Structure 1
């Protein structure tokens, strides 16, 4: 890793010895037996500046304590039908593992509507999947592959991405900010598949704003990306929308059965996650319907700039679409008039 980096990790460890006991306890839940890997993630997120990385980690630990994140896996979204609605509109799931043992997280960006529950339920569900990934999925993968596994691969399906996605920018900014500040450097590679024109247009203006380490992680693949993804994972681990050209990530897709649709509540991953949370909640008082409220952090200046850029680009594309529609309408009217005159 390098002498300078080793020194940074040692300095980080010394600084962490001085934090409060409550922060040390939640830190154990965070690192799951691999503290060094956690130090490295936060150092990378702050370009190996020890003081900034330490502040970032302490802020994250305080966020965990203040929002009772350690208990979030004891707070199921009830009733189950409500959780099903969340799954049908927030398309995220675990499809399998790469050949190196990294969890493969599939995200249906284009078809996620976020319109079946309140914002707090979507944030609760997102954090629960993060915590289940970090506390259950990755430790089991680490045991299986006999090495620390602390990152995942994400496959983002852009099928169905439309200008109306602008309505989701604020919610997605909240989720992204939570990840950036409290789960940094958890993704090894982002694979973009089924990218329509609207994504390509936005990518051109957003890409230069991203930090270099983030840009290097993002790969835009041709079509559904199956051939490229099969180089790093087996067919069984491919997200369902990558197994056949044009299958897409529709929440109503039944191309291979709902059990193969990793977004579905009926998929083994979501069944295991939901049952795990219900079991963790069992010793506690009877559950009442209601979301688990988490304080939404303020996005940093760079993230806010990116969100604003996306919003501006979406508006530009919408204006362009309206103008093109007006031109087509006028052309049709002129054509119709010409036919009547002749």
Structure 2
């Protein structure tokens, strides 16, 4: 059996190398302005980028090429290369976005991967329009890909092209149903334009209602996504400390030790006052000032074409909705769900 597996891996190596060569040959033919935005995506690590798109299309070079070309066209049409020069102003509005779209970077894993905390359960998305939330999400992606990852790669002397995400389900309740559409839009943007950027998703502080949904959503996920998701018990502290130091642990994973609550306020990676968000916001303001030294920054969101959610994403959203309703009606749920 082992021999077969090793043979399979070897064969996969040949297949993947061929696919990389094919896709590279296709991408070498790309002209401006797509060429410039492609360089902005790969940041000098072209092969790693080709591999990400190939993985997302099961190593089919033609499909990966189509996906990558559509991504480049989306970037050019929506001026994504310039989005880090478009601050969300005034600051109070941006603070509102940060207080209701809970995401932040808490540090790095021991392997050098950036660690992002996401407050799935407590994000309300009710302080701004959809466009601001999409703009903010893409800006964090672009800052990660053009500033944080290249800097980590330089520090470690090897390509660091992915991150770790820790999803906090604290506060997850029925009102989350109203946010499913926006969250599906954001995840579709990621799937189509930032594929395979997350190494592992750790899910923590899981309430009963999530356990119920997870059991039915899990089979709908693609196998490569399913393999990346790890549901941890409690706040996940002990498991996460195996791959990162305590300084990099998101604040919502620190709650199991007494005396850590006052610590949490200082290290709340969602807050606009956290060093990550301060650096990001200052970076965006500086980029904006260098581009338009005379004209004042205008208030208004940066409109990005919103994608049609993929059929799979729509199916998952519908399944979650139906499970939430079942949960409320109290039918069809067994106590054993808590164990999953």
User: Taking structure 1 as the reference length, what is the TM-score of the superposition?
Assistant: 0.90
> For residues 32 and 92 of structure 1, what CA distance do their matches in structure 2 show?
24
- Find the partner of 1:304 among 294, 311, 314: 314
Q: Report matched runs for 1:62-141 at 5 Å.
A: 62-141=73-152
| Residue 267 (1) aligns with residue 274 (2) | yes
Q: Report matched runs for 1:168-187 at 5 Å.
A: 168-187=179-198
The offset of 1:259, in angstroms, is 3.5
- 8 Å contact from structure 2 (residues 167, 202) kept in 1: yes
- Find the partner of 1:314 among 310, 324, 336: 324
> For residues 271 and 265 of structure 2, what CA distance do their matches in structure 1 show?
6
> For residues 107 and 303 of structure 1, what CA distance do their matches in structure 2 show?
19
Q: Which is higher, the Rg of structure 1 or of structure 2?
A: 1
- Find the partner of 2:247 among 236, 240, 244: 236
What secondary structure sits across from 1:95 in the alignment? Answer: strand
> For residues 329 and 127 of structure 2, what CA distance do their matches in structure 1 show?
28
User: Taking structure 2 as the reference length, what is the TM-score of the superposition?
Assistant: 0.90
- 8 Å contact from structure 1 (residues 258, 266) kept in 2: no
What is the match of residue 204 of structure 1?
Answer: 215
- 8 Å contact from structure 1 (residues 240, 261) kept in 2: yes
- Find the partner of 1:225 among 212, 223, 236: 236
> For residues 177 and 308 of structure 2, what CA distance do their matches in structure 1 show?
19
Q: Deviations over 1:281-306 (max 9, x none)?
A: 00313211100000001112111111
What secondary structure sits across from 1:282 in the alignment? Answer: helix
What secondary structure sits across from 2:262 in the alignment? Answer: coil
Task: State how many pairs are aligned.
Answer: 316
> For residues 238 and 89 of structure 2, what CA distance do their matches in structure 1 show?
40
What is the match of residue 286 of structure 2?
Answer: 279
The offset of 1:246, in angstroms, is 9.0
What secondary structure sits across from 2:18 in the alignment? Answer: helix
- 8 Å contact from structure 1 (residues 221, 228) kept in 2: yes
> For residues 54 and 312 of structure 1, what CA distance do their matches in structure 2 show?
36
> For residues 186 and 264 of structure 2, what CA distance do their matches in structure 1 show?
29
Q: 1:214 to 1:279 in 2, by over 3 A?
A: same
- 8 Å contact from structure 2 (residues 131, 301) kept in 1: yes
**Which stretch of structure 1 is more off in the superposition, 4-13 or 237-246?**
237-246
> For residues 35 and 197 of structure 2, what CA distance do their matches in structure 1 show?
20
What is the match of residue 35 of structure 2?
Answer: 24
- 8 Å contact from structure 2 (residues 252, 264) kept in 1: no
- 8 Å contact from structure 1 (residues 191, 220) kept in 2: yes
What is the match of residue 60 of structure 1?
Answer: 71
- Find the partner of 2:165 among 154, 157, 160: 154
| Residue 290 (1) aligns with residue 297 (2) | no
Q: 1:261 to 1:64 in 2, by over 3 A?
A: same
The offset of 1:20, in angstroms, is 2.5
> For residues 128 and 58 of structure 2, what CA distance do their matches in structure 1 show?
38
The offset of 1:158, in angstroms, is 0.4
> For residues 147 and 102 of structure 2, what CA distance do their matches in structure 1 show?
21
The offset of 1:254, in angstroms, is 6.8
Measured on the aligned residues, the alpha-carbon RMSD in Å equals 1.5
